[in-house]
Structure 1
């Protein structure tokens, strides 16, 4: 059965700018597109995306290489994802997110919170 959403979590010690760019390119190359992102200081980013089902397996293998290591729960998603997709389901779109934790020695970047009106 095809899940309605996929939530991926991983970490890297590589340069965060390069890994963010790599992740976005990987999503695009696998029939997906980024819908939103949230950067939490310079330690964590969450990238939301939508992707056609036919690209999910490729995306999972791309994200688990080139410096990003997926956690076991995300690798399990790849193992449990159906190998043989019914032709009608290949273009079906599902939502997903990838949470990347950056392991670095940089000091935290303070992101200002906008004032609340009123």
Structure 2
């Protein structure tokens, strides 16, 4: 049975700008598209995406390389994912997110919070 969403978590010591580009490019290369992202300082980014089910396994393999390491629960998605997809399911869209933690010695970037009206 196909999951409703996939939630991936990983970390890297690589340059955050290059890794963000790599993650977004990997999503695009696996029949997906980025729908939103949230940057939490220079330590964490969450990228939300949608993609066709046929690209999920390849995306996980791509994200678990090139300097990024996915956590065990993210890799477990591959083991739990159906091996043979029904032809109709390959084109089905699935929502997901990747949470990337950047391990670096840079000081935190302060992101101002806009004032709340009212």
Q: Given the two structures, how large is their TM-score scaled by the length of structure 1?
A: 0.99
SS of match in other structure, 1:35: strand
4+ residue segments displaced more than 4 Å: none
Name stretches of at least 5 consecutive residues in structure 2 with no aligned partner. none
**Hey, what's the Cα distance between the residues in 2 that align with 1:70 and 1:82?**
20
Q: 1:1-118 residue pairs with structure 2 within 5 A?
A: 1-118=1-118
User: How many Å apart are 1:80 and its aligned residue?
Assistant: 1.1
Q: Given the two structures, how large is their TM-score scaled by the length of structure 2?
A: 0.99
User: How many Å apart are 1:82 and its aligned residue?
Assistant: 1.1
Name stretches of at least 5 consecutive residues in structure 1 with no aligned partner. none
User: How many Å apart are 1:43 and its aligned residue?
Assistant: 0.2
The number of residue pairs the alignment matches comes to: 118
**Hey, what's the Cα distance between the residues in 2 that align with 1:83 and 1:67?**
27
Question: Over aligned residues, Cα RMSD in angstroms?
Answer: 0.4
